[in-house]
Amino acid sequence: MSNGATEIFVDYGEEWFAWRERNGAFSGMIPFERHFIRADAMIKRFVEENEYLIVANIPKSERDQQRLENLLSKEENQVFSKMNGDDLKAFLETKYKLLLDKATEEDPKIAYVLPPVDQNHNLIKIGLSTARYSVPNSLQSTTWLDTHGFCMDNMRMGRSTIPQAGMGAFAVRSMPEGSIVATTPVVTLYRDLLKTAEKSKQDTNDVQLLMNYCFGHPNTTLLMFPYSSTVHFINHGDQNVDNQDGKGGTTANSKIRWSHSEYQASELLEKSLEEMKQLQKTGLMIDIVATR
């Protein structure tokens, strides 16, 4: 049984970032997979060639003393055993700076993903994955997840039981009324952006298909597009369905509300439409809540 879990990341594809770099949308560096792979290889070789120096610079309370003693059996490491701690640290920093210079010369993005000089004593651990090192909080304990995380597997995709509805979302477990089925962030869009340039002869609509997956009031220009696992397969329920008591009802078994999550940017709910248009990012989230 796993004692931890990881955050789920959206993969936009490298071209999504490369295009924005070329067009000046990003001011910093966006490393790609090949840069992390190359950095991992460089660290692996550096650790193999300088293992004694690295282990010797790990604080005594954290390092594997037996490993250090085993490394001393190698003749080339015996000279280091006569150096004091400051000299060992300075020597390792000098050698590591040479590695950073080499990486910068090869590709600045490789040097960007390598850990800074003051972290060179962690190279053995970091060397397992520079990509993982770049997001240190991506691995969390189950205790942390119980408090701050979201359950992402309450639904599965399947063929909808609603005639001509296509695909639908189905619960994978029983969820009582009031429980959160899913939490999803939303991207704010504007209706005019979803209009098609030309209407085809076969299509009677002049809007893009994306409109079908957005939420919004018919009298506002602001739309919200949710992006999270499986939520796009949720279909609308029928209204005014006759119940056994003769009263109208709905087939819907869940509702949408503003998320109560600690990550909800609640201050955005007070902004005007014009203020929302000026935002370069979003922080709004919605909850899908079971109603029966």
**Final residue of a domain: which of 96, 127, 145?**
145
C-alpha–C-alpha distance, residues 156 and 5, integer Å:
20
Across 77-85, average pLDDT: 71
pTM of the predicted structure, to 2 decimals:
0.62
User: Do 12 and 67 share a domain, yes or no?
Assistant: yes
Same domain, 182 and 136: no
Whether 58 and 37 map to the same domain: the answer is yes
Tens-place pLDDT, residues 145-180: 888 888 888 999 999 888 888 889 999 999 999 999
DSSP strand pairing (248-250 vs 239-242): antiparallel
Judgement on whether residues 69 and 185 belong to the same structural domain of the protein: no
Domain residue limits at 29: 4-145
Pick left, alpha or beta for residue 162 (phi over 0 → left; psi -120 to 50 → alpha; otherwise beta).
Answer: beta
Q: Are residues 136 and 242 in the same domain?
A: no
The bridge status of strand 167-171 relative to strand 180-190 is unpaired
pLDDT digits 0-9 by tens, 248-267:
567 888 999 999 999 999 99
> What proportion of the chain, given as a percentage, has pLDDT over 70?
81
* Cα atoms in the 13 Å half-sphere on the side-chain side of 199: 7
In the structure, what pLDDT confidence band is assigned to residue 244 with cuts at 50, 70 and 90?
A: low
Q: Which of 130, 145, 160 is the last residue of a domain?
A: 145
Looking at every residue in the chain, the average pLDDT score rounds to 82
Residues 6 or more apart whose Cβ sits within 8 Å of residue 173 = 154
Position 236 pLDDT exceeds 90: no
Phi, psi of 199 (to 5 degrees): -95, 125
Residues 18, 131 within the same domain: yes
State whether 245 and 167 are in the same domain: yes
222-226/239-242 β-pairing: unpaired
141 and 11 inside one domain: yes
pLDDT on residue 200: 59
